[in-house]
Structure 1
């Protein structure tokens, strides 16, 4: 066992018995390199990364390669999900040098952590124009021993260039109608009208962009925005990217048609998409959206919830195919023969319904299950029976591995999704699951100063400090939970986290945000990225949480911070709308107010419940909801809000200035949908 044996990251633990003498990212590793006078090999990946596993099997498990590494390098292994700051800094260098990036990321550093040579996956021997990993190691070792000054100059220049990229994205001006209309036009140009989604292959689920489109439709009535959102969601839900048996979404589709996925399932994708489909149902009443939202929520609870009540990070793409081979997609794909084995005479119907053919849509004649465009022509009872039998049979296959570390940010996204989905569809078990995860975040991830730890595993907190997205997404989850439950403690916890955002992550001069705290470990540069990736950027997530908190409490500093942070959306929205979708959604909320809804009445009263549910189902962008006893001081929105003639009532406000209260759910629905 090497030094990774005592880490909490499943990815690092996968390498704990490698013959490579791995170090975790630490000052001690660089001290060792300095003392020995050797460079550092930095290898960054994550547990469910297919090519990370391939390179590990080919190179890091090879005794000869490991011996060369141990003699000439200090080798450092990093889980990108545990240390997104380290990943971001060096990925920026890789992309600047090579024009592309990806994982595994392979970077060679000086003992001062300065990068000088880059790559991603390297095969063990030269292949398809790529040099072999052993060739790379020998070349780097030769350069280090024979041309050390030249290497130092290259490293210094790279660090200097990276430092020069630092920008202040803050802007005193918030995005307005012109920028949001420009963003919509840009999305329309990139929209794939025949297949849904944006751009070409590979296609990633555009959850943040869909959220913007739904909010834009709600505020402006744009039918084009709604059509893009609705059609994209329907194509994904009918495609292979969605698990037609067990629910939940794979990471992305390798083709434009959403047919063949990269089969890993990530918590963050499913949390974001669960919420998006719930919001699509709220806007349209689509039965498909309702089903997918609930199935995705059930998937998260069933397959990702940990014993401690949190949610695991991911399920692997690969699994044993039953013959000893570790194969991508083996758990999910079917051949006609496999259908016949499970379903007998109903196999032909199932093959037609799910698109399973002799030729197959995947590898070796297997097919990824999809849904037909016209479901009504099939016998619904037979289809439901076939689905149950296939799911039961699939559960007997060797299951994909699970990365069971709990990431604070992604659990915050799950809390928000499960709380809202449970409230919309009268599923208190889902709300309870959200509360359980939120309790774990408070109990294990927050210290007595409300500082967040990024990860935990098996009830043991990791050593790495939370980054901006952790504070923002956990605050977002707590705010959603406060709206659903009416419990002021969640609003209070959100306030603690957002106070840290103001104090530790915000440039007081410009309002720009950094991804790491001011007192965090110093890297070669302080990472700062306002653009969305697979999840909302910490920057835009913080803007959204700050705005919601300000709307719940009337806090002017939090609202001002949200508005200053949205300056980046004014700059980037019309030019790159696909990469600031969450920021555009927050801007929609800002233009709408956002509306603040106070529902006052006795807990458990029929009319209190009806008004509260109506408020939660309102489509006004980013509306916040408080529910509780009349004139309660537990939630600021309730203060000074009395009953109306002794009956529960709802107040719709902007900036704490309210319209006349109503006791009629229909009037409230109208007030929140116009």
Structure 2
């Protein structure tokens, strides 16, 4: 018989609906049972693409013996961390305080008052691999709850006080010493892997905020080493097995230092953030490979991760047919059979590292050990000819792969992650002159604003199969507002700027801390939990405060709103402790700080309404990497109104020619022709 999870919409929760464990979703029913029966709560948090979550489910939650013990002694609650990042934040902090590390599946034991007293991550069903068995853990917890409850409750009180202190994020100092970005860059230089790119050793994650910081630092300082770090990292990632050479898109991370063997799950947010990195790097360097990666990754999102209504799905699993990576790996005989021509097949296997012994559990993950130009030299052919041959081969393999059993997909649509992808597609469409990407970004933005907004104009966090639910978090507002700003700069449709402003006004009203500065993760009318967090640290996604501060700074500078700039500065100051002690752990906040500290430019292009050169001029502006420049367009005699009135007022084409008006550091320069501005 299915348990209570059968009525949920989350694919992750539905995966557990037929477990013999008597799972509850998080909600009042479960919490009331725990209070009434004075049972401890077993809280299990994971997500659908998590490999070890699947392992623990199969080993423990499908075990009748373990389920019987859980059902008899605990109120068992299963949570999708992607639906409830607020709960995940709080209880992950608890697990890290208890064990010194964290991860998923997350397993936490709570008092009926929701206060944690013990926790961990994955445990095998019985003792093995140097770990205690889950059966032992459960019995030890119940022994403590039965025989030493006062001690367990005391532990929970101490932990809860610590969690509340962490969550408040109160700064010991509001001073931000100069040189924070330089300090972060030096830390990156120290941890940079000169041979393989990236930072640190295995496992290796894409540190997208680091790349963003380095690109900005290069523009400011012309520090060639910053650009070298970016180039090596982006090159090695896009040639490694972490990149899907057939279908586009990046896996979550690499288990080794050289980006070869990925954890094969694909997350929407990683691909969004990486598209933004490669777009910016292409704008700066004009390297064609970066544009190719952008196109292939955006095409993957449009082809495989886009809902029929326009929103973007969340994740693809690592596993298919019960095996990690099975969908993605190859053997030489398959390639020879598919490509037919013996010489071409041999060359393809050589270039993409497909061997009899394999590079992953007897199979081969496609990867490029060196640039294609070097392969062409070795094979005594031109790079263009080899590139065409490899592209044809990849297309044949891609078509054949479509007949395989695909990994499972979590098709829920999250407002926050959609915001990241909308922004990435808007940037890609503008930089590459690709209308398809702008159209997809626009459609997704309309979808979220129409289908994931309640009657009061408040965002909802998640949508699946016709139903939107759960009050939105700070990430939803700040990421989506940033996406609206990017859409304005890509299309110059002021509607998107209005939406950006509206979203940030809601965030200020319901999330902003008027006493200490900065934004809470949850709204003032959110469900009461044991702590209310402010996040300044980045995780795999940017911190909500860092993103909010940057959007406020951009919006404030573009429309000349000093109150928005004050709030942006106060948000950065609220994270001063983090920027003092661990600047590299708060890259997004550091980016906002950098944007506020530097004058930047506001550039207005004024053109006649019928000027045929407008698309070409806009295309040139969009092709440049200008991280501190804000763009606007005034077309014809249209009277500027609303947010842009003060910026656009009186700006007209001079002598009928497209004209640039540039303002910097509260001073406006004399208007110049667009042609001379773009050639300077």
Q: What TM-score does the superposition give when structure 2 sets the normalisation length? A: 0.94
Summarize deviations over 1:426-472 as a string: whole Å, max 9, x none.
1101100000110011001222433211111123102x211111111
Partner of 1:356: 354
Give the 5 Å matches for 1:86-485.
86-165=87-166, 166-169=168-171, 176=178, 178-320=179-321, 326-344=322-340, 345=342, 346-363=344-361, 365-376=362-373, 377-378=375-376, 379-462=386-469, 464-485=470-491
Q: CA deviation at 1:602?
A: 4.0
Moved more, 395-404 or 64-73: 64-73
Distance 2:44 2:545 in 1: 27
Distance 2:218 2:596 in 1: 15
Q: CA deviation at 1:645?
A: 1.7
Partner of 2:660: 650
Partner of 2:30: 29
Q: CA deviation at 1:299?
A: 0.9
Q: CA deviation at 1:53?
A: 0.7
Distance 1:570 1:108 in 2: 34
Moved more, 496-505 or 561-570: 561-570
Partner of 2:383: none
Give the 5 Å matches for 1:536-547.
536-547=542-553
SS at match of 1:38: coil
Q: Does the 8 Å contact 2:144/2:152 carry over to 1?
A: yes
SS at match of 2:314: strand
SS at match of 1:539: helix
Partner of 1:558: 564
SS at match of 2:22: coil
Summarize deviations over 1:584-628 as a string: whole Å, max 9, x none.
322332233332222222456333223322332332324222224
Summarize deviations over 1:78-101 as a string: whole Å, max 9, x none.
110111010000000100110011
Partner of 1:664: 674
Answer yes or no: is 1:491 the counterpart of 2:497: yes
Which residue of the other structure, out of 621, 632, 641, is the alignment partner of 1:633? Answer: 641
User: How many residue pairs end up in the alignment?
Assistant: 662
Distance 2:675 2:54 in 1: 55
Moved more, 558-567 or 581-590: 581-590
Moved more, 409-418 or 644-653: 644-653
Give the 5 Å matches for 1:71-82.
71-82=72-83
Partner of 1:323: none
Q: CA deviation at 1:25?
A: 0.9
Give the 5 Å matches for 1:494-643.
494-567=500-573, 571-573=577-579, 575-603=581-609, 605-630=611-636, 631-633=639-641, 635-636=644-645, 637-643=647-653
Q: CA deviation at 1:500?
A: 2.2
Distance 1:651 1:171 in 2: 40
> Residue 594 and residue 517 in structure 1: after superposition, are their counterparts in 2 closer, same or farther (change >3 A)?
farther
SS at match of 1:454: strand
Distance 1:436 1:665 in 2: 33
The alignment's C-alpha RMSD in Å is 1.8
Q: CA deviation at 1:421?
A: 0.5
Distance 1:164 1:80 in 2: 22
> Residue 154 and residue 599 in structure 1: after superposition, are their counterparts in 2 closer, same or farther (change >3 A)?
same
> Residue 60 and residue 504 in structure 1: after superposition, are their counterparts in 2 closer, same or farther (change >3 A)?
same
Tell which has more relative contact order, 1 or 2 (C-alpha 8 A, sep 6+). Answer: 1
Q: CA deviation at 1:555?
A: 1.2
> Residue 567 and residue 230 in structure 1: after superposition, are their counterparts in 2 closer, same or farther (change >3 A)?
farther
Partner of 2:52: 51
Q: What TM-score does the superposition give when structure 1 sets the normalisation length? A: 0.95
Q: Does the 8 Å contact 2:599/2:665 carry over to 1?
A: yes
Moved more, 612-621 or 389-398: 612-621
Q: Does the 8 Å contact 1:611/1:650 carry over to 2?
A: no
SS at match of 1:387: helix
Runs of 4+ aligned structure 1 residues displaced above 4 Å come to 170-176, 568-571
SS at match of 1:566: helix
Q: Does the 8 Å contact 1:186/1:575 carry over to 2?
A: no
> Residue 337 and residue 540 in structure 1: after superposition, are their counterparts in 2 closer, same or farther (change >3 A)?
same
Distance 1:169 1:297 in 2: 40
Distance 1:8 1:32 in 2: 23
Q: CA deviation at 1:62?
A: 1.9
Q: CA deviation at 1:271?
A: 0.5
Q: Does the 8 Å contact 1:278/1:421 carry over to 2?
A: yes
> Residue 586 and residue 615 in structure 1: after superposition, are their counterparts in 2 closer, same or farther (change >3 A)?
farther
Summarize deviations over 1:541-573 as a string: whole Å, max 9, x none.
111111111122111111111122223665444
Distance 1:318 1:555 in 2: 49
Q: Does the 8 Å contact 2:177/2:580 carry over to 1?
A: no
Q: CA deviation at 1:638?
A: 2.2
Q: Which 5+ residue runs of structure 2 have no aligned equivalent?
A: 377-385
> Residue 174 and residue 472 in structure 1: after superposition, are their counterparts in 2 closer, same or farther (change >3 A)?
farther
SS at match of 1:529: coil
Distance 2:428 2:584 in 1: 25
Moved more, 624-633 or 303-312: 624-633
Moved more, 158-167 or 69-78: 158-167
Q: CA deviation at 1:577?
A: 4.0
> Residue 628 and residue 340 in structure 1: after superposition, are their counterparts in 2 closer, same or farther (change >3 A)?
same
Q: Which 5+ residue runs of structure 1 have no aligned equivalent?
A: 321-325
SS at match of 1:606: coil
Distance 2:466 2:648 in 1: 37
Summarize deviations over 1:204-224 as a string: whole Å, max 9, x none.
011111011111111222211
Moved more, 577-586 or 52-61: 577-586
Moved more, 585-594 or 568-577: 568-577
Q: CA deviation at 1:330?
A: 0.5
Q: CA deviation at 1:487?
A: 1.3
Distance 1:536 1:516 in 2: 16
